[in-house]
Amino acid sequence: MREKILSVIEKNSRIDIGELAILLGEDEAAIANEIADMEKEGIICGYHTLINWDKTANEKVNALIEVRVTPQRGMGFDNIAERIYQFSEVNAVYLMSGSFDFTVFIEGRTMRDVAQFVSDKLAPMDSVLSTATHFVLKKYKDHGTILSAKKKDERQLITP
């Protein structure tokens, strides 16, 4: 039952418990208890709202930063990741396979804010060997939701 609950609420965290119970063919109280248990166990870590900031007056700059580091003896990558994710600008940190070690997603008001974060906070860290910053120019799909659907051409076709 847990996997079924998680698949539904991952796509729609605002679904009503009663509606979820009907959808899954389960008792409402059992669903509510299972969700509460998963929250206590840290399986469900939070509920988020996906916002298309391009449709607001609020200017934001999103960037993906590739970070190469030297892992610390006996600590691996965990301590470095913890130091990075403590910064308020950081939205996500992932340990990666391949040519770099971490992908860091950050948000700033301007490109200058992002550049200052990298040059003043991230790059000077002891274990950081190099960084490469990539700015998000446009989001087409985020967390499974299409943000920039192609508009239909509503003009009439005129034939000779």
pLDDT in tens, 40-91: 999 999 988 888 888 888 889 999 999 999 988 888 899 999 999 999 999 9
Q: Hey, which bits of 7-113 come out as E strands?
A: 61-69, 90-95, 102-108
pLDDT at 75: 81
Residue 154 reports pLDDT greater than 70: no
Q: By C-alpha distance, which of 132, 143, 122 is closest to 47? A: 143
Residue 113 reports pLDDT greater than 90: yes
* Mean per-residue pLDDT, 103-118: 96
Separation of alpha carbons 59 and 72, rounded Å:
38
Q: By C-alpha distance, which of 103, 100, 104 is closest to 68? A: 100
Mean pLDDT of the chain: 91
Confidence tier at 148 by pLDDT (50, 70, 90)? confident
Residues 6+ away with beta carbon under 8 Å from 65: 103, 104, 105, 106, 118, 122, 131, 132, 133, 134
Which DSSP letter does residue 62 get?
E
Q: Provide, rounded to the nearest whole percent, the portion of the chain with pLDDT above 70.
A: 94
C-alpha Rg value of the chain to the nearest Å: 21
Which tops the pLDDT comparison, 65 or 146? Answer: 65
Q: What's this model's pTM, rounded to 2 decimal places?
A: 0.79
Which tops the pLDDT comparison, 125 or 160? Answer: 125
Residue 95 reports pLDDT greater than 70: yes
Which tops the pLDDT comparison, 26 or 150? Answer: 26
Confidence tier at 152 by pLDDT (50, 70, 90)? low
